[in-house]
Structure 1
């Protein structure tokens, strides 16, 4: 069975770019008679906004994006992440690293394995890195075909637990996708580069990788992606239809006046029934053909 998911972080309300990712993953799952799961990626408390998790779920309901099963919160799975790290440390598949970003930047921008053989034992102020045994320099995207990843990035021993004690995104997302049985990840093109590391994690864990589909990023007038960090405008809960239609057009739908006149539930169901990958734009970044005020 196809199992897809939408996994927002509670760092603020959903914006137009988030809605595009939610819709794309929903349509891909439901057009294949699959399950669509929602996971809240709440493992970075300094970036989280109080009440954002509840607001995100309310927004999905307002746009008739109804998920299957219970919502999974990453904060409930911290023991599982740590258990996997402990296993890798015991097997010497992972190691402590005391290098700072400044040191890595001075060494050329990619981590060169300076701490790999130091056998550090004091975790205070150290990150944990996974030894890279399966470097992934390219992968096949369901829409875009073969996508490449910079060689230096592909070969790095990458961080699985940060110096501040928080778990790294790449580790958590792969362990959770395996835990939930996810078969395909549909998300924005800003996450193309991490895909290589995530595939390498599947291989390290002896698990079959998921397939990937990366959707075009919505960008603003300055060429920056619409994001919470860039203070993108929250989407409207009280009058969702105009934003829903804009997001569906962004994903390549041609929507007649008759369809646009239907209620939210019927528009979304029409989207499920008419979703095709070939309709997606080929570009990885797109400035929406309407004003930012309508996002």
Structure 2
């Protein structure tokens, strides 16, 4: 019998807050309830913002909460070779292309288009789609720019990738925290345009790394925040074109601040370290997040 596998996968780019506590504790609760496994993954591909100090604080917070996980912990920064191998495959299969436009050039291109009366499409986060001009560059020109160390990112050709997938994409989404029933959800990766899958200096992005890691770690259940619901469509597309297994998903409620907004690491909202220093107990945290 195959054990169900859950994972909690934070990024050490700030202090953990109540929202992280809820996600971590919910994953632990579900793993224990089903007799499954709980993995901890450190998503630290952003080598600029992720620091050893934040990682140490993260481990301290999780241990204080009483979270237990299987060893060894997978750190994404130690597995760039895994991601690079998959990126090379996407390049060979012409499913990605190098995108050279700077943020200023993108803004100018879009502004010019909007002046001409065209409404520019935006993704679910409100970010404008990347212009399609670079997809038309000849291979010789692409190679010349790369050889001259022009800044670029690898973007997924969403049209080519969806044509390769060749069918309607869905995923199975649990309807509540009991994981007793699922419903099919239509994946709409086209709502994101040509997303970044890797950068020149880092051979991956969140989307690419997460689907590779989930497959390598045999994650069966992805339990994470509602803020990532729409992004699952991109990840389902990557799973399909790469022939990776697809987990089932549950996008749980978000823990909101007193003003009703999503908690943020950058604003140090309800940080676990601060709560601990103020005398809160792990049980207090469980009550605060409704567990």
TM-score (norm 2): 0.77
Q: What is residue 117 of structure 2 aligned with on the other side? A: none
Identify the match of residue 141 of structure 1 among 148, 173, 179.
Answer: 173
- Contact 2:7–2:38, Cα closer than 8 Å, also in 1: yes
Q: What is residue 70 of structure 2 aligned with on the other side? A: 68
Q: What is residue 181 of structure 1 aligned with on the other side? A: 218
- Contact 1:220–1:226, Cα closer than 8 Å, also in 2: yes
For the structure 1 residues 87 and 147, does the alpha-carbon distance in structure 2 shift closer, same or farther, using more than 3 Å as the test?
A: closer
Cα distance in 2, alignment partners of residues 217 and 148 from structure 1: 22
Q: What is residue 134 of structure 2 aligned with on the other side? A: 115
Q: What is residue 90 of structure 2 aligned with on the other side? A: 88
Cα distance in 1, alignment partners of residues 236 and 189 from structure 2: 15
Once the two structures are superposed, residues 106-156 of structure 1 have per-residue CA deviations (whole angstroms, 9 ceiling, x without a partner) of 1612235322231312333111012222387764421264556667525x2
For the structure 1 residues 91 and 148, does the alpha-carbon distance in structure 2 shift closer, same or farther, using more than 3 Å as the test?
A: closer
Identify the match of residue 129 of structure 1 among 117, 132, 155.
Answer: 155
Once the two structures are superposed, residues 70-91 of structure 1 have per-residue CA deviations (whole angstroms, 9 ceiling, x without a partner) of 1110111111111211122122
Q: What 5-or-longer segments of structure 2 have no aligned partner?
A: 114-119, 121-127, 177-182
Q: Does 1:218 align with 2:291?
A: no
Cα distance in 2, alignment partners of residues 151 and 40 from structure 1: 25
- Structure 1 vs Structure 2 CA RMSD: 2.4
Matching of residues 266-277 of structure 1 within 5 Å: none
- Contact 1:160–1:170, Cα closer than 8 Å, also in 2: yes
How many residues are treated as equivalent by the alignment?
248
86-95 vs 58-67, greater mean Cα deviation: 86-95
Once the two structures are superposed, residues 47-94 of structure 1 have per-residue CA deviations (whole angstroms, 9 ceiling, x without a partner) of 224411122112211111100221110111111111211122122222
Give 3-state SS (helix, strand or coil) of 2:229's partner.
helix
Q: What is residue 231 of structure 1 aligned with on the other side? A: 268
Matching of residues 142-291 of structure 1 within 5 Å: 142-143=174-175, 145=183, 152-154=190-192, 156-162=193-199, 165=202, 167-235=204-272, 236-237=275-276, 239-247=281-289, 249=290, 253=291
TM-score (norm 1): 0.76
- Contact 2:91–2:97, Cα closer than 8 Å, also in 1: yes
Q: What 5-or-longer segments of structure 1 have no aligned partner?
A: 254-295
Cα distance in 1, alignment partners of residues 130 and 171 from structure 2: 22
Q: What is residue 277 of structure 1 aligned with on the other side? A: none
